[in-house]
Amino acid sequence: MKGQEWGSSPIRGLPSLSHEKTGERDLGLDESDPGLEPEESRESFQVLPEETGTRLDVLVGRRLGLTRSYANRLVRKGRIRLSSGQTPKPALKLNEGVRVEVFIQEIENLDLVPEPVDFGVVYEDEDILVVDKPAGLVVHPAPGHWTGTLVHGLLHRDPRIGLINRVLRPGIVHRLDSTTSGLMVVARTSDALDKLILSFKTRAVEKTYLALCWGSPKERTGRIDAPIARDPFNRLRMAVVPGGKGSVTDYRVLARYREGFSLLECDLLTGRTHQIRVHLRYIGHPLVGDGLYAPKKISPFSTDRVFLHSWRLTIPHPRDGRRLSFRAPLPADLTEVLRKLHPEG
């Protein structure tokens, strides 16, 4: 039975992007893992002039986007250190310039304060929400990004999501890098969350990306089958490493440009961290704008942005299993890059 589809073609004038795909999928791994390592994180900040006289628990909560009750617990449990040498107490009022260090260990029990955050909504019903995440938006709270994440925005839009028993990442089934834009599905109930996670693990989800890479792959279609693990020489990156986790990416060249770029459609058959970015770098065609995997290449973007967009997402609905397909056209910053290029032929 043919499923329903929402959205439109991502770019006018390019070949159809709705061809049949084959091959097994293994998306229930790194990229879709709903957990987070419970390691300790240290955050620090200095008291600003306008914050002089503010209670310590209020200040910590405000700076890190936490509820006052959670910030209060951090203070009482001795998770705060002050450069002034004072003993941290919830009601302590600090002077300008004092450095506050906060040690957060109980990451999974973090209390989050909902915030208005800008993101698109492609589809919603009582079970799921399909969002179009803009580049620059971090999906969930993590060290260095305790406020203004997609999760904060989801809680602001739908407080029910906060009732799901995964407090740090309520409703989140899979992730996109902050530098990547496009489609994500979010669960609105615990039952929907469990069923969506199962759908990823049983290879019932299809995710397709559009990417602009440097150079031109020799073959118009291809498969990159190379194991991925943490880069042994740079802990911030992943890399193709013998003995790493099996990783497979299919690609199709949609357009080649005279300036030395190619537009690709990439289909993930596994879901490793940075998979497309790592695989394309491995074959000598890193993504445009990718400062992490192609640091010597000039980026057309003024911000931390990679030309990678999650444009199509197909899932079985968690309530009745009917297949739903969604599309999100390329955002303006990416289409602007393409407008300046000249297709070959």
Q: Say how many CA atoms lie within 13 Å of 220 toward its Cβ.
A: 3
Q: Give me the residue label for tokens 């979010």.
A: 186
Neighbouring C-beta atoms of residue 264, cutoff 10 Å: 27
| Structure tokens given for 255 | 């357009």
Helical segments of 2-136, H only: 56-64, 68-76
Is 63 in contact with 45 (CB distance < 8 Å)? yes
Give the Cα separation of 202 and 93 in Å (integer): 53
**Is residue 177 among the annotated active site residues?**
yes
- The catalytic residue among 57, 177, 267, 333 is 177
Within its chain, how far is the Cα of 286 from the centroid? 19
User: What is the β-pairing status of strands 323-327 and 228-230?
Assistant: unpaired
d(CA 251, CA 220): 8
The answer to whether the CB of 156 falls within 8 A of the CB of 148 is no
Q: With contact defined as beta carbons under 8 Å apart, do 70 and 110 qualify? A: yes
Which of 311, 222, 301, 277 has its CA nearest to residue 31?
Answer: 277
According to the 3-state scheme, what is the secondary structure of 275-297? HHHHHHHHCCCCECCCCCCCCCC
Residues annotated catalytic, as ranges: 177
